[in-house]
Amino acid sequence: MSLLEARNLKKYYATQKAVDDISFSVAPGSIFGLLGPNGAGKTTLLRMITGIFFPDSGEIVFEGKRFDPMKDVERIGYMPEERGLYKKMKIGEQAMYLAQLKGLSSSEASRLIKQWFVRLEMESWWNKKVEDLSKGMSQKLQFVTTVVHNPKLVILDEPFSGLDPVNSNVIKDEIFNLAKNGATIIFSTHRMEQVEEICDHIILVNKGQKILDGTVREAKQKYKASLFRISFDGELPQQEHPSFSTIKRESHSVVVKINEGSSSNEVIQSFMNGGASINSFNEILPSLNDIFIELVEGTPTARQFQTVTN
């Protein structure tokens, strides 16, 4: 059973179909990547899952029951892309306030916050004000306030923006930790290298519609272009064979595309017959970045305004 299931979600604004019939499901304990270019409808989608917006149609099922924003928000932690904290409030009070709004009692909130503060080396911050924090520090605080109530579902919108590599790694480790301890994580971004590293399952949305849904491996298999890199000892052979076409010649290797109907064995065979000594033979899988660009390219980079008829 999936922890969260979205069925045919739609949300139309006056001039845009922000989310146009998107369905997906998130397995418990997984790290789920929600990808898409700017303005694809990611934030609107997340706002529906967090109960901030009501979908125009479609339904959301959370832990097997129909999503009830009044009750279920306590089991969700949401860190929006636009971070926000009360500038004039002390950090400890701020964390306590947000934790209590998530339904924790004050003693419980205080215990959990202190635990997190120790873990992320933030103990000395308690009586400082938010306005005294650097961007990276307030990012860490924001992360703590998002996860302090041990939510079943953690939704992170661009969690690494503004963090240096060291702190990025700290947060990344915490994300893995949360998933290991049973939380499910939805991770929205357009930074593909992080997705490859972190996510189990991804969906890609563009212009309000889902255009890809699967594991990272599946996506790569699906969008691979039968490209192989063969490296050689010594001289590059000037081989031609109907089973492949050469795409690129590098100093010690060539990139070939295996033609339809042929197998990699035929290609290797032909090189071996030509007397070349093969050093390695690798399939080149597309990076998510390549897939992303391929799928999104050709559509205008900025969403156009459209007339919506319901």
Segment 137-156, which members bind other proteins (CB under 8 A)?
142, 145
Min dist CB 80 to other proteins, Å, is: 4
Number of residues that bind other proteins (CB under 8 A): 29
User: What is the secondary structure of 19-67 as a DSSP string?
Assistant: EEEEEEEE-TT-EEEEE--TTSSHHHHHHHHTTSS--SEEEEEETTEE-
DSSP element (H, E) containing 233: strand 227-233
Q: What is the DSSP letter of 226?
A: -
Selected binder of other proteins within 16, 30, 50, 139 (CB under 8 A): 50
**52 to 91: interface string for other proteins, x by CB under 8 A:** x-----------------x--xx-x-xxx-xxxxxxxx--
Closest C-alpha among 73, 288, 296, 79 to residue 199: 288
Task: Give counts: helices (H), strands (E), the chain.
Answer: 10, 14
CB closer to other proteins, 161 vs 238:
161
Residues 6+ apart with CB under 8 A from 262: 242, 243, 244
* Distance separating the N- and C-terminal Cα atoms of the chain: 33
Comparison of 109 and 198: residue with beta carbon closer to other proteins: 109
Nearer to other proteins, 80 or 286 (CB): 80
Query: Among residues 130 and 163, whose Cβ is nearest to other proteins?
Result: 130
Does 102 help bind other proteins (rule: CB under 8 A)? Answer: yes
We find the least distance from the C-beta atom of residue 87 to other proteins, in angstroms, to be 6
Measured between alpha carbons, how far is 159 from 198 in angstroms, rounded to an integer?
12
Q: List contacts with other proteins (CB under 8 A).
A: 47, 50-52, 70, 73-74, 76, 78-80, 82-89, 97-98, 100-103, 105-106, 142, 145
